[in-house]
Amino acid sequence: MSKYGENDKQGQYWNEAPGQSWVINDTAMNERLQAISDILFQGLDVTGCNNGLDIGCGAGSTTRRLAAIMGNQAKVTGLDISEKLLALARSHPESVGKDFLQADAQSCKFEPEGFDLAISRFGVMFFENPFKAFQNIKSAVQKGREMRFVCWAPISANDFFLSPLNTVVDITGVSFAEPGKEPGPLAFSDRTYLSSILKTAEFSSINIDIIETSISTKDSVEKNASLLMEIGMGFRAIKEAAPTDEVLNEIREAFVADGNKRQKNGFISYDATIYRVSAVA
């Protein structure tokens, strides 16, 4: 088996330049995803939980938050396919005592029912075989215990993706197919499909809440434009279009102009819609 288990393509993706962008922009993304993190953790019942798992934990912001909620006695593990993001996670001063493991959540061998809670902030939409991945994840969670994660609703309800994507398509003329069920941030935006994955894995009490929220930042419009060049659907379309430096500048300027229009009371904001998914193993 390869270094990245059954998810070689995604393993490479998250260990190469795009993963590096998440390393560089970790603080910026945590700021933007603050409201969504609050939604993920809202009302999370950790009573009697001693061993938590954060799937696709990235640089570990939610792993540390989970540990803080679970308390000193609890063990918390962050699992991710990207060594680059895990290295950043491990280097954080508040990561002391947390385990960060490099593994493919789809194919790694979990200790059966080794965890009594599993969470994820946008870390579970990148599997070649999501049916198998969720069967594997279920095997890792104690019977009767919760798995909870957030993932993106359709792109039409997510301005942070749609707006930069439209900008790049307008400027470059690149044809960028609407993302479907392939591994990627929007892989689970069809609720019926998502529900069928969790049912096939034999989770029970499946609940998929649709929650409207926002992505906001106090960053300058220039800094925000730079981030949009490196993360999200605009970035993916730029990669596809492979524009000249001149066109890249045009895109950056368009992102700055859009940021100026959005900025209010010091915040640049985007409408966002997510699913908060809860299921019992």
Binding site for ligand SAM (CB under 6 A): 7, 10, 14, 29, 56-58, 61-62, 79-82, 85, 104-106, 121-123, 126-127
CA dist 257 and 249 (Å) reads: 12
**At closest approach, how far in Å is the CB of 104 from ligand SAM?**
4
**At closest approach, how far in Å is the CB of 95 from ligand SAM?**
14
89 C-beta neighbours (distance < 10 Å), count: 24
* CA separation, residue 177 to residues 117, 160, 190, 258 (Å): 36, 17, 16, 23
Q: Which is nearer to ligand SAM, 238 or 254 (CB)?
A: 238
Q: Which is nearer to ligand SAM, 52 or 123 (CB)?
A: 123
**At closest approach, how far in Å is the CB of 279 from ligand SAM?**
18
**Residue 18 tokens, joined:** 């795009």
Q: By Cβ distance, which residue is nearest to ligand SAM?
A: 58
Q: Which is nearer to ligand SAM, 70 or 150 (CB)?
A: 150
E-assigned strands of the chain? 51-55, 75-80, 99-102, 117-121, 146-152, 204-217, 268-280
Q: Which is nearer to ligand SAM, 5 or 259 (CB)?
A: 5
Q: At what angle do helices 34-41 and 61-70 cross, to 10 degrees?
A: 40
**At closest approach, how far in Å is the CB of 153 from ligand SAM?**
15
Q: Which is nearer to ligand SAM, 88 or 238 (CB)?
A: 88
**At closest approach, how far in Å is the CB of 159 from ligand SAM?**
17
**Residue 125 tokens, joined:** 């939409």
Q: Which is nearer to ligand SAM, 243 or 276 (CB)?
A: 276
**At closest approach, how far in Å is the CB of 250 from ligand SAM?**
27
Count of CA atoms in the C-beta half-sphere (13 A) of 252: 13
137 C-beta neighbours (distance < 10 Å), count: 29
Sign of the alpha-carbon torsion through 19, 21, 27, 31: negative
**At closest approach, how far in Å is the CB of 105 from ligand SAM?**
4
CA dist 176 and 171 (Å) reads: 12
Q: Which is nearer to ligand SAM, 56 or 259 (CB)?
A: 56
